[in-house]
Chain A
Amino acid sequence: MRFAILTDIHANREAFAAVLEDAATRGAGRIVVLGDVVGYGPDPGWCCDKVAELQGRGAICVRGNHDNAAAGAPEPMSPLARRAMDWTKARLSEDQRAFLGRLPLVAEEGDALFVHASASNPEAFSYITSDTRAAPSFRATGARLIFCGHTHVPLLASRDPGGVVRQQEFKANLPIPLLRSRRWLAVVGSVGQPRDGVAQAGWALLDTEANELTFRRTPYDVAGTARKIRAEGLPEELAARLLTGS
């Protein structure tokens, strides 16, 4: 079975649609959404409905901090995120906000665990930006594979048979064998607002049969999304950062 693992869509319809199409052509039979469906981007309603539709067809979906905020929870946010969130909330229906609020914080399937940020304390939404920050997640769960998002920067770490957690370098679009001798944690990057300098949607393809993970990048109409952000009067920084992927 191939899982397309998406996270941090952030109301970017163009990126979301492009990834879903790319995932389908690569034989993904199951979709996973690791949260932050809304916030920052210009199409929260469409993205929310799409995720609900995917969930209805068997997709695994968990809740991120922006989804939490959209549902009304008091999430700490930067002023920029706050401005976008106020705009977002006004554009979501009661049902859409309730849907986001109902998503679970953690989901498990087979030997994989799915969570928006650190698995050690899912409600705290801590950033995993290094091997030291990945270590608590390995301690918190027995799952062999942990998938998360939140940082918008792809990262791969593994815990070797001796218990040492190390970050691993990898190349995009090339399959990585997930050796069964160790446990793995992948931050799969961001569909709708990548921040690693690549202005393409980031996601991951997990092939459970081949036991391989591929960090993928999918080009999308970045200029189109940026235009919409500007047309909606959302902060200019949000449009500019999409164009550079930073």
Chain B
Amino acid sequence: MPVRPHTGLEIDGFTLGEKLHTGGFATIWEVTHPDQDLHMVMKVPTILDGDDGPTIVGFEVEQMIMPRLSGPHVPKVIGIGGFDVMPYIVTEKIEGGSFLAVFQQAPLPLSDVIEIGARMVAAVADLHRQHVIHLDLKPENFLQRKTGEMVLVDYGLSRHDQLPDLLAEEFTIPMGTYPFIAPEQYLRCRDDPRSDLFALGAMLYALATGRNPWGTPQRLRGVRKRLWRDPEPPRAIRPEIPEWLQEIILRALSVDPMRRYQTAAQLAFDLAHPQQVTLTARALKTRRDGWLQVWDRWRVMRKLRRFDAPVSVAAQLASVPIIVVAVDLSPEGERLAEVLRAAVKRMLTIEPDARIACVNVIKTARIGIDQGTDDQGNNLHVMRLVQLKAWAEGIELPDHRLTYTVLEGPDPGLAIIDYATANHVDHIMMGARGYSTTRRYLGSVSAKVVAEARCSVTVIRLPEERAAA
């Protein structure tokens, strides 16, 4: 490499300032450019003389993947430098800094664990939507924007499932950060987005308990143990952790990827709907499994060579969609609600693993404070929830795949759209009311949702409408 980075170095118009960080594989520098007002940083790989294949290829992977990413959860790429002079990547500087400091204060108050966890999961969900599996999620790789969004950095081990995997044959040992690496990564699988969900589970565990689920192994042997050894249940370390949170954390940490959350969106959904998390034996565990059980698992796992990986990231995301069904519970909407329920059942035959989130909107006045009770003093919210559950009974889906939410807002369309966005929803199903006078004056809720929602929307109409038209 002809040029090494130093303060004052000028390259492609960038001027290097202070060195901000020295890591194992790279250094980070503050840089300026006459055409850029942004605060920027430059990452330069530390390439040792001689054979340093993995560092070089890891940096090539970053140079290949990062320019293809967009949105608030990734740093914006400003410039890239080739290996002929000095390889580098210049990105915007994320002012909030690394999340490591927050992590070092763990255990955190539970409300913080949930709130921070949700933001971390949102960032990973966004990355997976862009076909990228990070494969090295750890506290240092989560930065925070001033606006609160988590930003994921360091794509040196990542996999873009639409691009060649330059790292496929580069490593002879599993790569990743030992406390957080998933069992299948230990087995050198590089194409399962659920590996990132495992790492998220390990970080949630650490935030909630102040410990890593398997400590801080220094050697691969220590990593391998997680294929059969279960971690201490979080509630055994910190009893005030609610059962539902233990359920979420231990599910994310399942050894077999099939038993984990299948998408980041599903994990986010449970964090956002704690009352509706279905508790299993996991939630109630108070101690680690006995040696006989562990020994049984060891006998199976020590011979295991791989877990089944999904066909692609996109296929994995598509196989377990979250479908919001917006139900109109008014007397005029009764027939339409029935037809909608039949449509949902048909949808479940083609999306057998879908999760159905039933929502109903209580329309509130634009101005002033609404009464949460009706004239008879009944709580409207509770009444609607009961009605919504009664409506959903006919869907015949197990409880853990059905949730019920009553939303409130002056604009029902907007309430549905906001809910769908916040919960990484894949699909909205709803009915469209007929050509009534009210609709002509008030506008159609479904039309607004179709026009403005960011996911697919299916609108159901009454068969009788066809005759009327």
- Do B164 and A169 have beta carbons less than 8 Å apart? yes
Residue A204 at the B interface, CB < 8 A? no
Stretch at the interface among B11-19, B53-61, B408-416: B53-61
CB-CB nearest in chain A for B51:
A162
A residues in contact with B22, CB < 8 Å? none
CB-CB nearest in chain A for B63:
A179
B residues in contact with A177, CB < 8 Å? 64, 67-68, 163
Identify which of residues 121-171 in chain A touch chain B, using a CB-to-CB cut-off of 8 Å: 156, 158, 160-162, 164, 166, 168-171
Q: How many residues of B contact A (CB 8 A)?
A: 20
Contact of A156 among B68, B164, B168 (CB under 8 A): B164
Give the CA-CA distance A117 to B448 in the complex, in Å: 57
Given A162-B51, A166-B169, check contact A174 B162 (CB 8 Å).
yes
Given A156-B164, A171-B162, A179-B60, check contact A164 B53 (CB 8 Å).
yes
Residue A91 at the B interface, CB < 8 A? no
A213 to chain B, nearest CB (A): 11
- Do A179 and B64 have beta carbons less than 8 Å apart? yes
- Do A160 and B57 have beta carbons less than 8 Å apart? yes
Give the CA-CA distance A180 to B64 in the complex, in Å: 10
Give the CA-CA distance A180 to B67 in the complex, in Å: 14
Identify which of residues 176-202 in chain A touch chain B, using a CB-to-CB cut-off of 8 Å: 176-177, 179-182
Residue B419 at the A interface, CB < 8 A? no
A residues in contact with B163, CB < 8 Å? 170, 174, 176-177
Residue B351 at the A interface, CB < 8 A? no
- Do A169 and B51 have beta carbons less than 8 Å apart? no
CB-CB nearest in chain A for B312:
A171
Give the CA-CA distance A170 to B169 in the complex, in Å: 15
- Do A180 and B82 have beta carbons less than 8 Å apart? yes
A180 to chain B, nearest CB (A): 5
Give the CA-CA distance A131 to B64 in the complex, in Å: 21
Give how many A-B residue pairs fall within 8 Å (CB-CB).
46
CB-CB nearest in chain A for B87:
A181
- Do A168 and B166 have beta carbons less than 8 Å apart? yes
Given A181-B56, A181-B60, check contact A161 B83 (CB 8 Å).
yes
Give the CA-CA distance A231 to B258 in the complex, in Å: 54
A residues in contact with B149, CB < 8 Å? none
A1 to chain B, nearest CB (A): 20
Give the CA-CA distance A170 to B160 in the complex, in Å: 11
Give a binary string over B57-96; 1 marks a CB under 8 Å from any A CB, 0 the rest: 1001001100110000000000000111001000000000
- Do B83 and A181 have beta carbons less than 8 Å apart? yes
B89 to chain A, nearest CB (A): 12
Residue B256 at the A interface, CB < 8 A? no
Contact of A169 among B64, B67, B165 (CB under 8 A): B165
Contact of B164 among A164, A168, A180, A181 (CB under 8 A): A168
CB-CB nearest in chain B for A160:
B57
Give the CA-CA distance A176 to B57 in the complex, in Å: 16
- Do B165 and A182 have beta carbons less than 8 Å apart? no
- Do B164 and A170 have beta carbons less than 8 Å apart? yes
- Do A161 and B164 have beta carbons less than 8 Å apart? no
Choose among B60, B67, B84 the residue with the greatest number of A CB atoms under 10 Å from its CB.
B60
Give the CA-CA distance A162 to B49 in the complex, in Å: 11
Identify which of residues 119-168 in chain B touch chain A, using a CB-to-CB cut-off of 8 Å: 162-166, 168
- Do B56 and A160 have beta carbons less than 8 Å apart? yes
- Do A182 and B60 have beta carbons less than 8 Å apart? yes
CB-CB nearest in chain A for B80:
A180
A residues in contact with B53, CB < 8 Å? 160, 162, 164
B residues in contact with A181, CB < 8 Å? 56, 60, 63, 82-83, 87
B215 to chain A, nearest CB (A): 36
CB-CB nearest in chain A for B169:
A166
B25 to chain A, nearest CB (A): 15
A residues in contact with B87, CB < 8 Å? 181
A17 to chain B, nearest CB (A): 29
B residues in contact with A169, CB < 8 Å? 164-165, 168
CB-CB nearest in chain A for B53:
A162
Give the CA-CA distance A166 to B53 in the complex, in Å: 13
CB-CB nearest in chain A for B61:
A179
Give the CA-CA distance A192 to B238 in the complex, in Å: 68
B residues in contact with A171, CB < 8 Å? 162
Give the CA-CA distance A148 to B63 in the complex, in Å: 27
B residues in contact with A170, CB < 8 Å? 163-164
- Do A161 and B165 have beta carbons less than 8 Å apart? no
CB-CB nearest in chain B for A156:
B164
Give a binary string over A192-219; 1 marks a CB under 8 Å from any B CB, 0 the rest: 0000000000000000000000000000
Give the CA-CA distance A180 to B82 in the complex, in Å: 7
A residues in contact with B68, CB < 8 Å? 177
Give the CA-CA distance A133 to B283 in the complex, in Å: 56
Give a binary string over A70-108; 1 marks a CB under 8 Å from any B CB, 0 the rest: 000000000000000000000000000000000000000
Give the CA-CA distance A50 to B84 in the complex, in Å: 41
A217 to chain B, nearest CB (A): 15
Given A174-B162, A181-B82, check contact A162 B56 (CB 8 Å).
yes
A residues in contact with B64, CB < 8 Å? 177, 179
A residues in contact with B60, CB < 8 Å? 160-161, 179, 181-182
B residues in contact with A158, CB < 8 Å? 164, 166
CB-CB nearest in chain B for A173:
B162
B residues in contact with A162, CB < 8 Å? 51, 53, 56
CB-CB nearest in chain A for B50:
A162
A residues in contact with B51, CB < 8 Å? 162
B residues in contact with A168, CB < 8 Å? 164-166
Given A161-B83, A177-B163; 8 other pairs, CB 8 A cutoff: A156-B164, A158-B164, A168-B164, A169-B164, A179-B64, A180-B82, A180-B84, A182-B60
In order of increasing CB-CB distance, the 3 nearest A-B pairs are A168-B164, A181-B83, A174-B162
Can you identify 5 A-B contacts, CB atoms within 8 angstroms? A168-B166, A169-B164, A177-B64, A177-B67, A180-B83
